[in-house]
Amino acid sequence: MPHFVIDCSESLLSKHDAETINQHVYAAAASSGLFNESSIQVRLNPFANSIMGGKKVESMHVFASILEGRTKEQKLALSKAVIVALAELFPEVETIGIDVGNLEKGVGFSKKKL
């Protein structure tokens, strides 16, 4: 159920391919102990253009959606693990961020539940 969607500068894919990036985020999420490993989903969306402070920069941002009920400390540890994993791959990228949002239990559907 946990979803990790990575937005990153397209140019970063010349340094590491999408599969490698996805695997690093997957491993960080799995190592948190918060999730059943078979339910972790990771996707990557490269973008061609971005600016920050009026300048073109390379950046990464992860949007994590997890079921509610985790503590603030658990979310912070998960955030740190994901950032560390990406920073190891991309030490030259100054802007790597993550947002962890809650999915409300019992809300939403998947094909399996229809």
- CATH code matching the domain that covers 3-108, chosen among 3.30.429.10, 3.30.2350.10, 1.10.579.10, 3.40.50.10540: 3.30.429.10
Confidence (pLDDT) at 49 = 87
Confidence (pLDDT) at 88 = 97
Q: How far apart are the first and last CA of the chain?
A: 16
Judge if pTM exceeds 0.85: yes
Torsion of CA 22, 63, 41, 105, to 10 degrees: 170
pLDDT by residue for the chain (114 residues), tens only, comes to 899 999 999 999 999 999 999 999 999 999 999 999 999 999 999 999 888 889 988 999 999 999 999 999 999 999 999 999 999 999 999 999 999 999 888 666 666 666
